[in-house]
């Protein structure tokens, strides 16, 4: 329309030399009339309606699609173990890890997020119990498999509320397979944004829900929030067709045992669901200094209970009877708590390095609660364990676009964390009953799109069972003791990792 008005004005000027004064006045009056009509039409435009129409178009053409991202990592790990009697073993392993992230927002206050995971060692692994040749690595992607191998690491909905019952408390509700690994503090070594739980004490995948309440507006305390978390680690429901049981014995029989009355997904006898309920409370976070706390209770935790009334068996087939048979049982409950202090930048403008330095110290505790005379961590009594975790990371002054990190953690005799999903192939360093040291360097090769890391982790065990579960498998035996030497307990573990990672 502006173009039209300009052309009209030019035409009026050009024709000035040929028209009479009356004609010029008439044309100017006509132009004024047209401009007034345009202004009137513009004033009548319903901007709110236009904005709504634009949002509908965006929702249809942009928001109504799943957005994908890629995180692909190739890693090379050198893993070493040494037992208390001096036996050692080393191995080298290549792995590929692919995360396909997805997100979809049908409304401004609702978001779906998911993460498909593929994590595999290079080549066929020798110990694939029950897999037979159908899962042989050479043909697995061209073979119809009886079980689905597509793994969903995360899949959940997020709802954003602006106020809670009229109070100025923004809140979120989330339901699904929640992001529960690589939480704050552990996120630094993994070079990624922190997820929900404190990485010091929880680093395990869960199906569950969370509800977060931002208390900053009503308390006027920077960054304060409270978050309820709940998850189910194991259900006590039977599988479909549970009454059909395999009776296959190679060379002897190949039959199925069929029984039951046709009911499905009923309770498995003598088992309860394994649940966790807890909270995360951040009393202060100004973006530089922050305090993070968490506490939880987990019910009906499982583990292997040794049957010491039965004869010992030769587990490694070396001709020596070395262990009792074990049964999978639920043995009791566990309480856990942690408090962490984090500085994202030290001081205010002292120098560039301190401005970009992250430092933290964290303390955590766990306490067992055996049920019905069961033994948890090898004891029928309640046992408390503690852990200290400190670390720092800063920009490397010798290499551009690189960061260095150092970490240390110490766990006591009965320390038990939920860090089974920690990505250290030699075992969870944060579960260590003893001392663990780690140093890493992460380098940006093409910004954050292509990065590389070299990391060294060293674990010096004081007690056995660091990576065990909650029954006899997690019982602590002093490594450097007569009993420890009798079972040739694991004394030290090391993991040297180098990876290249692509993210887009």
Average pLDDT, the chain: 88
pLDDT interval class at 242 (50, 70, 90): confident
For the chain, the residue count is 504
Q: Are 78 and 503 in contact (CB under 8 A)?
A: no
* Beta-bridge partners for 254: none
Please give the average per-residue pLDDT across 5-9, as a whole number: 48
| pLDDT tens per residue across span 469-499 | 999 989 999 999 999 999 899 999 999 999 9
Please give the average per-residue pLDDT across 393-404, as a whole number: 96
* Beta-bridge partners for 183: 195
* pLDDT given for residue 83 in this prediction: 97
Is pLDDT of 17 > 50? no
Is pLDDT of 208 > 80? yes
**Contacts of 40 by beta carbon, 8 Å cutoff, 6+ apart:** none
**pTM recorded for the entire structure:** 0.83
Q: How far is residue 150's CA from residue 140's CA, in Å, rounded to a whole number?
A: 12
Is pLDDT of 414 > 80? yes
pLDDT interval class at 313 (50, 70, 90): confident
**Contacts of 355 by beta carbon, 8 Å cutoff, 6+ apart:** 345, 346, 347, 349
pLDDT interval class at 128 (50, 70, 90): low
Least confident of 234-248, 369-383, 456-470: 234-248
* pLDDT given for residue 53 in this prediction: 75
Tokens representing 251? 């060379």
Please give the average per-residue pLDDT across 144-169, as a whole number: 89
Tokens representing 444? 């940006």
| pLDDT tens per residue across span 315-325 | 777 777 777 77
Strand pairing report for 183-184 and 358-370? unpaired
Among 335, 337, 493, smallest CA distance to 428 is for: 493
Tokens representing 58? 């965006």
Residue 350 DSSP symbol: S
* pLDDT given for residue 408 in this prediction: 98
| pLDDT tens per residue across span 432-470 | 999 999 999 999 999 999 999 999 999 999 999 999 999
Please give the average per-residue pLDDT across 131-152, as a whole number: 76
* pLDDT given for residue 121 in this prediction: 92
* pLDDT given for residue 247 in this prediction: 63
* pLDDT given for residue 332 in this prediction: 97
Range list of β-strands (E), 253-325: 256-258, 274-285, 289-306
Q: Are 383 and 377 in contact (CB under 8 A)?
A: yes
Is pLDDT of 190 > 90? yes
CA distances to 139, 140, 221, 290 from 143, rounded to whole Å, are 6, 5, 58, 51
Tell me the CA end-to-end span of the chain in Å, nearest whole number.
Answer: 43
Please give the average per-residue pLDDT across 236-264, as a whole number: 72
* pLDDT given for residue 59 in this prediction: 59
Report the chain's C-alpha Rg in angstroms. Answer: 32
Share of the chain above pLDDT 90, in %: 67
Of residues 251 and 459, more confidently modeled: 459
| pLDDT tens per residue across span 60-97 | 655 567 899 999 999 999 999 999 999 999 999 999 99
Strand pairing report for 326-344 and 358-370? antiparallel
Is pLDDT of 253 > 80? no
Tokens representing 406? 């150092």
Least confident of 235-239, 286-290, 424-428: 235-239
Least confident of 23-37, 191-205, 271-285, 330-344: 23-37
């Amino acid at each position: 329309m502006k173009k039209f008005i300009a052309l009209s004005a030019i035409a009026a000027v050009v024709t000035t030399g040929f028209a009479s004064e009356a004609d010029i006045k008439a044309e100017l009056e006509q132009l004024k009339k047209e401009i007034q009509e345009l202004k009137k039409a513009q004033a009548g435009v319903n901007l709110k309606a236009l904005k709504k129409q634009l949002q509908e178009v965006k929702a249809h053409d942009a928001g109504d699609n799943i957005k994908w991202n890629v995180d692909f990592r190739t890693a090379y790990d050198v893993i070493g173990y040494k037992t208390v009697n001096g036996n050692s073993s080393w191995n080298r392993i290549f792995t590929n890890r692919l995360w396909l992230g997805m997100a979809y927002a049908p409304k401004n206050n609702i978001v779906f997020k998911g993460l498909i995971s593929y994590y595999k060692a290079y080549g066929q692994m020798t110990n694939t119990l029950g897999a037979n040749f159908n899962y042989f690595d050479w043909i697995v992607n061209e073979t119809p498999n009886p079980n689905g191998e597509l793994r969903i690491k995360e899949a959940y909905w997020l709802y954003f509320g602006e106020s809670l019952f009229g109070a100025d408390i923004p809140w979120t509700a989330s339901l699904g397979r929640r992001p529960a690994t690589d939480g704050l503090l552990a996120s630094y070594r993994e070079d990624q944004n922190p997820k929900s739980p404190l990485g010091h004490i929880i680093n395990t995948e869960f199906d569950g829900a969370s509800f977060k309440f931002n208390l900053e507006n009503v308390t006027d305390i920077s960054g304060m929030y409270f978050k309820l978390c709940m998850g189910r680690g194991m259900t006590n429901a039977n599988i479909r067709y549970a009454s059909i049981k395999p009776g296959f014995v190679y060379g002897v029989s190949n039959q199925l045992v069929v029984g039951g009355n046709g009911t499905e997904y009923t309770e498995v006898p003598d088992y309860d669901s394994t649940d966790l309920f807890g909270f995360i409370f951040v009393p202060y976070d100004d973006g530089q200094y922050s305090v993070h706390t968490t506490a939880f209770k987990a019910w009906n935790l499982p583990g292997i209970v040794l049957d010491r009334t039965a004869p010992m068996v030769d587990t490694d087939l070396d001709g020596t009877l070395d262990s009792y048979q074990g049964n999978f049982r639920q043995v009791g409950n566990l309480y856990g708590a942690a408090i962490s202090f984090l500085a994202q930048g030290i001081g205010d403008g002292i120098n560039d390095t301190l401005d970009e330095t992250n430092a933290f110290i964290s303390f955590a505790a766990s306490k067992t609660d055996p049920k019905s005379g069961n033994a948890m961590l090898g004891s029928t009594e309640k046992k408390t364990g503690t852990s200290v975790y400190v670390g720092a990371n800063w920009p490397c002054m010798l290499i551009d676009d690189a960061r260095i990190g150092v970490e240390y953690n110490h766990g006591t005799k009965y320390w038990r964390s939920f860090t089974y999903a920690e990505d250290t192939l030699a075992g969870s360093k944060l579960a260590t009953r003893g001392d663990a040291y780690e140093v890493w360097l992460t380098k940006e090769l093409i910004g954050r799109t292509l990065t590389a890391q070299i990391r060294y982790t060293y674990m010096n065990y004081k007690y056995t069972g660091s990576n065990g579960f909650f029954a006899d498998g997690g019982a602590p035996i002093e490594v450097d003791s007569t009993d420890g030497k009798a079972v040739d307990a694991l004394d030290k573990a090391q993991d040297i990792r180098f990876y290249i990672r692509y993210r887009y």
